[in-house]
């Protein structure tokens, strides 16, 4: 909890389960954990008004978030490091031994209760990736804040000479608002890779329009300072909702955290006149709960939007891909192939099309069963995909028939790629579930145009004619379309 100078980060910056914030072995164990907790606690202490509780206390929320996100941190050594960080920060800033022990106990107790409850949830809920995730977040953080308030009720009369009830209430409100402001950011933080950051940080269609929600948030925050009054702190609410509809959950959480941090500090230091006595404990408690509720709305919207986008991506993939092989289905292949042909035509770049058909596929189904045929189809999809670039288009047109579009590829280059696919598949060891091996080969036809592209239909027809020629010539071979052989 945030009090007159108490330490409480338990941010051990070394995640475990595949995390890339640095591996445990690179951090030399507990020393780094103590430093992180010390710094987070010290930050909270330095933001407090003189003789009062901290206006913004990130340590407990950071500690809880990291333990929930990376549960390997919740070992005994992690808890000991957290306690040492709390104690060190409080003692360095002049806290007495009694106040240090009481406040550190409150911090650890609240985080421990929160961690125990979060650990019972599925990872998708812990990462706020389900619509009900925010509801669980609110309930669990409220229980954790109430648990910290129990120690606060004991500490308040001893340390500040105030009532136990007021101590519990104020402790509860303070912990709750800090949990709600910081936890979503930590729980939704992406893996430290460029792909992870880009996917989690930027809108799907980045453009000039995507900056407007942030500008609206800045403008509304400035207006709240200029206008003042009790309702001024709610001015940024519409802009925050706009951000939630535009940006990812991670970015929305970051903006909400900045908003909460700014509001609490602005009110605490008198930059945001609200026409109430912000020094009164009851008024400050009310303000902090109000900030928490405002932060809850955009985070809820962003969480629902994240689930919606994930569902749309899944539905799009189901609509465009063959379920057996994972390749593009017929309609999606034609759409993407047509677009690639048009692009190659406009840029006067070569392009080639391959048509492939599994040899004696009906015989495989009749001899080994349709499950064996499915295994052979999946094996060919793997072999073909392994020989292609990301820019190439690979689809299953139906049955045992496949098509490939090779961008920036001449007929000679396409012939080499087709031979590589044929050879690889012929040597592939296809083993059925019962252990029986299946030998399968493929025939491939190649069609291309060196300069102009008459269209995907013409190219597919040329490749298909070459495929029939390969079948007639004995199968398990690649043949280039006659028009290409004449060039």
Least-confidence region, from 40-49, 117-126, 379-388, 418-427: 40-49
| Chain centre to alpha carbon of residue 479 | 46
State residue 47 phi and psi, 5-degree precision.
-85, -5
The residue with greater pLDDT, 274 or 111, is 111
Q: What is the average per-residue pLDDT within 186-214?
A: 67
Least-confidence region, from 12-26, 57-71, 77-91, 245-259: 12-26
Most distant CA atoms of the chain, gap in Å? 98
pLDDT band at 239 (very low <50, low <70, confident <90, very high): very high
d(CA 449, CA 46) in angstroms, rounded, equals 70
CA angle 63, 2, 153 (to 5 degrees): 110
The pLDDT of residue 4: 37
Q: Which residues pair with 448 in a beta bridge?
A: 352
The pLDDT of residue 306: 87
Highest mean pLDDT (candidates 17-26, 152-161, 354-363): 354-363
- pTM of structure: 0.69
Structure-block tokens of residue 363: 């015989």
Residue 8 near residue 1 (C-beta atoms within 8 A): yes
pLDDT digits (tens, 9 = 90+) for 205-236: 555 678 899 999 999 989 988 888 778 888 99
The pLDDT of residue 453: 56
Residue 417 near residue 386 (C-beta atoms within 8 A): no
Residue 187 near residue 128 (C-beta atoms within 8 A): yes
Residue 304's CB: how many other CB atoms inside 10 A? 18
Q: What is the average per-residue pLDDT within 407-434?
A: 92
The residue with greater pLDDT, 156 or 200, is 156
The pLDDT of residue 434: 87
Model confidence at 152: pLDDT above 70: yes
Residue 263's CB: how many other CB atoms inside 10 A? 29
Structure-block tokens of residue 20: 């890339």
pLDDT digits (tens, 9 = 90+) for 272-315: 776 665 556 677 777 778 888 888 889 999 999 988 888 898 99
d(CA 210, CA 178) in angstroms, rounded, equals 28
Q: What is the average per-residue pLDDT within 167-190?
A: 87
The pLDDT of residue 53: 53
Q: What is the average per-residue pLDDT within 143-150?
A: 93
The pLDDT of residue 39: 59
Least-confidence region, from 8-22, 242-256, 352-366, 437-451: 8-22
Q: What is the average per-residue pLDDT within 77-96?
A: 81
Model confidence at 36: pLDDT above 80: no
The residue with greater pLDDT, 472 or 233, is 472
The residue with greater pLDDT, 90 or 76, is 76
The pLDDT of residue 135: 92
Model confidence at 89: pLDDT above 50: yes
d(CA 147, CA 8) in angstroms, rounded, equals 15
Q: What is the average per-residue pLDDT within 399-422?
A: 93
On the 0-12 / 13-18 / 19+ scale of CB atoms within 10 A, 64 is buried
Least-confidence region, from 5-14, 78-87, 431-440, 456-465: 5-14
Model confidence at 13: pLDDT above 70: no
Q: Which residues pair with 446 in a beta bridge?
A: 354, 480
Q: What is the average per-residue pLDDT within 147-166?
A: 87
pLDDT band at 180 (very low <50, low <70, confident <90, very high): confident
On the 0-12 / 13-18 / 19+ scale of CB atoms within 10 A, 54 is buried
The pLDDT of residue 22: 37
Place of tokens 């992406």: 190
Q: What is the average per-residue pLDDT within 382-389?
A: 94
Model confidence at 377: pLDDT above 90: yes
Residue 357 DSSP symbol: E
Least-confidence region, from 54-58, 174-178, 322-326: 54-58
What is the residue-averaged pLDDT of the chain? Answer: 81
């Amino acid at each position: 909890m945030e009090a007159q100078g108490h330490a409480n980060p338990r941010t051990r910056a070394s995640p475990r389960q595949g995390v890339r914030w640095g591996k445990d072995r690179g951090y030399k164990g507990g020393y780094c954990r103590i430093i992180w907790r010390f710094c987070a606690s010290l930050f909270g202490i330095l933001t407090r008004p003189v003789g009062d509780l901290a206006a913004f206390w990130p340590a407990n929320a950071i500690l809880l978030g990291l333990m929930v996100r990376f549960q390997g941190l919740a070992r005994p050594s992690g808890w000991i490091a957290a306690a040492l960080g709390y104690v060190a920060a409080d003692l360095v800033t002049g806290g007495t031994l009694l106040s240090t022990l009481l406040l550190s106990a409150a911090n650890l107790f609240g985080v421990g209760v929160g961690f125990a409850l979060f650990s019972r949830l599925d990872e998708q809920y812990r990462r706020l990736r389900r619509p009900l995730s925010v509801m669980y977040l609110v309930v669990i953080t409220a229980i954790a804040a109430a648990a910290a308030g129990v120690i606060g009720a004991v500490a308040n009369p001893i340390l500040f000479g105030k009532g136990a009830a007021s101590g519990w209430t104020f402790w509860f409100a303070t912990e709750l608002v800090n949990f709600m402001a910081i936890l979503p950011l930590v729980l939704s933080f992406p893996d430290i890779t460029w792909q992870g950051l880009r996917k989690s940080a930027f809108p799907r269609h980045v453009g000039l329009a995507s900056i407007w929600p942030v500008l609206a948030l800045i403008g509304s925050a400035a207006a709240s300072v200029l206008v003042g009054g009790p309702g001024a702190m709610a001015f940024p609410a519409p802009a925050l909702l706009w951000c939630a509809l535009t940006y990812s959950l991670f970015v929305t959480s970051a903006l909400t955290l900045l908003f909460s941090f700014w509001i609490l500090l602005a009110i605490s230091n008198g930059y945001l006149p609200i026409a109430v006595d912000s020094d009164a404990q009851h008024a400050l408690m009310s303000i902090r709960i109000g900030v928490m509720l405002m932060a809850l709305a955009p985070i809820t919207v962003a969480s629902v939007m994240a689930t919606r986008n994930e569902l749309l991506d899944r539905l799009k993939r189901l609509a465009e891909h063959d379920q057996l092989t994972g390749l593009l289905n017929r309609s999606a292949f034609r759409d993407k192939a047509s677009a690639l042909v048009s692009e190659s035509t406009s840029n006067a770049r070569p392009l080639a099309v391959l048509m492939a058909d599994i040899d004696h596929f009906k015989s495989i189904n009749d001899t080994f069963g349709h499950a064996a045929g499915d295994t052979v189809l999946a094996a060919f999809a793997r072999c073909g995909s392994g020989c292609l670039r990301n820019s190439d288009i690979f689809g299953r047109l139906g049955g045992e028939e496949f098509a490939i579009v090779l961008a920036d590829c001449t007929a000679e280059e396409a012939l080499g790629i087709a031979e590589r696919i044929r050879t690889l598949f012929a040597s592939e060891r296809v083993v059925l579930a019962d252990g029986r091996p299946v030998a399968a080969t493929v025939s491939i036809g190649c069609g291309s145009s060196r300069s102009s592209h008459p269209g995907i239909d013409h190219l597919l027809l040329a490749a298909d004619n070459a495929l029939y020629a390969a079948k007639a010539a004995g199968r398990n071979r690649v043949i280039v379309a006659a028009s290409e052989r004449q060039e």
